[in-house]
Amino acid sequence: MKDTKLTVTNELTAPLNDLFGIFFEDINHAADGGLYAEMVQNRSFEFAPIDNSDYQATTAWELSDPQSLRVADKDPLNTKNLHYLTVDAKQTATITNAGFNSGMFYQQGEQYNFSFFVKALNGTQEVTVQLTDDSGKKIAAPQSITVESHQWLKYSAQFTAEQTTTTGRLVLTFPEGTRILVDMISLFPKNTFNHRPNYVRADLGETLKDLHPKFLRFPGGCLVHDGQLDPDNRGAMYRWKNSIGPVEQRPARRNNWGYNQTLGLGYFEYFELSEDIGAEPLPVLPGAHDPHHDREAPIAQLGDWIDDALDLIEFANGSENSKWGKVRVALGHPKPFNLKYLAIGNEEVGQAFFDRYPYFHKAIKAKYPNIKLINTSGPFAAGAEFERGWKSARENHSDLVDEHYYTAPTWFLANQHRYDSYDPKGPKAFIGEYASKKNQWYNAVVEASYMTGLERNADKVGLACYAPLFCNVDYKDWTPDLIFFNQSEVSPSVNYYVQQLFMKYQGTNNVDYHLANVPEAKVIDDGPLNDGLSPQADGTDVKFENIRLTANGQTKQFKGQSLSEKQTIRVCSTDADDYEVAFDVTKVGDEPKGAHFCFGEQDLDNTFTWVLGGWGNTDSMIRTMTNGMDTDWTQTSWTMNKNQTYHCQIKVSGRHITTWIDGEKMNEIEIPPFVVQPMYTNLTYDKKASQYYFKAVNVTDKQQEITLDTDLFADGSLYQLTGLPDAENHLGMTNQIERRNVPFSGHQFILPPYSVSVLMSTKQFRTQ
């Protein structure tokens, strides 16, 4: 076995700045029913089919008597909160809310703040408020609230739970004869994170703080730009001004993840949260463009959108004498939030966005030259739209470009050197969303290996954050995620501990070092991309004709195929290194979908696919499926029209793939060999803490060793994460990997199989 030696040349190099942070989006009920501590679901009767076709104004409420209890909108609480409950009790009537999951989480000894808005129609009346469990058992002493105002007025009450339950209910009882209007029925734990009102669940807030993130990207994601242009439309894009001020005046919003967003957790709270967890705020504003529905504001009407951006900066950083600074001060935060970063758009594709971005950029830089502006490069790691974003960023001198990729571990391993060739003088990459498809330890270790490469390239990579952050286990829209929870428990994923290690032990600068005698990398796959050829339908009826394979100097033609649903038929296979496939394809079905052509297909879980009309018939992509995990390697926007026949060609030369439609090049990609290095490492120094951090990741099943030819770590400490490759945390099973924090001495650094380690020592920086 070779003696791998670490020597430290000890020169401080690239600063790491705010490299590792987090991304919050209200997906998987991350905000409402999640981080936002409000316990009542549908507190303001604003749920509607626009949010979700199963929703109606009384969703999540149980009404004892529909004759006495109705939702109305004639004389609302205000113009942003249009629906309320009318109570005209012909007999004693009750309304019951179960919150989220199996019910509200009441904890013995904890206090809960109840409030509601009421307008009394009939003089003085009594409403009884109770906290119970799902069997009706009393959890706290009931309280009677006397309501008497003929104007909308807020009433409140406090409860102390006498028992613990996870099936809690909030029950309001109206005696016979009661005639009142009721709205904004709210229940919060008194003990929120940092004890702020209208804020964040304490346990989830602590879980974020424990990550030590350098920045917080918010509030989305697709959530930001999916919607109507008019900010007053119920299905509007996320407009930040709708999300501040008294919660009863924040309009409910359609959340494109299929539920209702109260906006109770809004921009002010996100700024507060950033401050509370020590992260730089990084808001994402819509760029007057919704790529999902091809909507964009005319260029002549960009004024309001640009003002939104300028006003946001003033809201965050302005003095109390400025219009928006004054609003921040009135909300209770006299000091500025020191906003440094601002993103315009999320995953934008299409020229419409990039025609508009320069207007935002110029106006913002003219007034606030120090704000770092973030452009976008779409949802794929390569291809025409990705290049369009980067071109725009270079032309406009954006500070950063947001890249997103959700890919298999093989992609991460094959792309370890992705950023080595980026231009350190150009805009920096912001990996605003990434994850490797599963919440198993192997995926987390591979993510760690990739993060050492992000650190190493800190002169080209400015920021990086895993996505999505949160998932309420009973409302999954998307996996993998970083932190799982329900109403009472939190289970950080195994990936969380990798992110935490890199954030907590990030350091301020890279340090020059050298590893000698590193064992050879293991080549897992560098062979040709050959095997089966299979046309496939992708959820709509398609017809394949004139299928031809040219390989080894011979052309063979195969029978045409009419396919529907997900039907696939292998027409032949090839063992040639270089080959060409041609076919004609026609979509005959109506669904907004297209077709696939699989090549190099070993089986359904291990194949290359040309996706024609993917993502709702909007893209042409080269996809791989590796052990059932898919990766979109490159993308070009393209739509397959019904009843139009397209002549398609695929050329495979070794590991190089090119596709054409009707003679026009569509996709081109070189699939790098899949190589596993015995170790992935990086050394940083933290000037503030006077700490060295040497990170080492072992993605293999063999132990690795490094001889430390330096005394830097002779009296240091070691934080090490190890586990079985398929280890995965779940609620109630939160420690499926081992985390050890031990003193370290000597010069032999052992990297166990599937491990992520950081060696640290407190030392003044010095040259050896």
Please list the active-site residues.
347
Handedness of CA 31, 32, 38, 39 (dihedral sign): negative
- Percentages (nearest 5) of helix, strand, coil residues in the chain: 15, 40, 40
Cα 616 from Cα 70, distance rounded (Å):
39
Residue nearest ligand AHR by beta-carbon distance:
221
Q: Specify which residues 750 forms β-bridges with.
A: 705
Cα 326 from Cα 317, distance rounded (Å):
10
Residue 524, number of CB atoms within 10 A of its CB: 13
The angle formed by the CA atoms of residues 699, 704 and 710, to the nearest 5 degrees, is 120
The DSSP line for 674-727 is EEE-S-EEEEEEETTTTEEEEEEEE-SSS-EEEEE-SSTTTEEEEEEEE--TT-
Q: 579 by DSSP, 3-state: which? A: strand
Q: How far apart are the first and last CA of the chain?
A: 27
Cα 742 from Cα 759, distance rounded (Å):
10
Taking only Cα atoms into account, the Rg of the chain, rounded to an integer number of angstroms, comes to: 28
Return the beta strands (E) in 594-628 as ranges: 595-603, 606-613, 619-626
Query: What does the DSSP 8-state code read for residue 554?
Result: E
Q: Specify which residues 31 forms β-bridges with.
A: none
Query: Is-contact 37 273, C-beta < 8 A?
Result: no
Smallest distance, Å, CB 398 to ligand AHR?
18
Cα 269 from Cα 168, distance rounded (Å):
26
Preceding amide of 725 cis, omega within 30: no
Q: Which residues bind ligand AHR (CB under 6 A)?
A: 25, 27, 220-223, 346-347, 379, 404, 433, 467-468, 478
The DSSP line for 375-387 is EE--SSSSBHHHH
> What is the β-pairing status of strands 215-218 and 20-23?
parallel
**CA distance readout (Å), 663 to 647, 650, 658, 659:** 8, 11, 12, 9
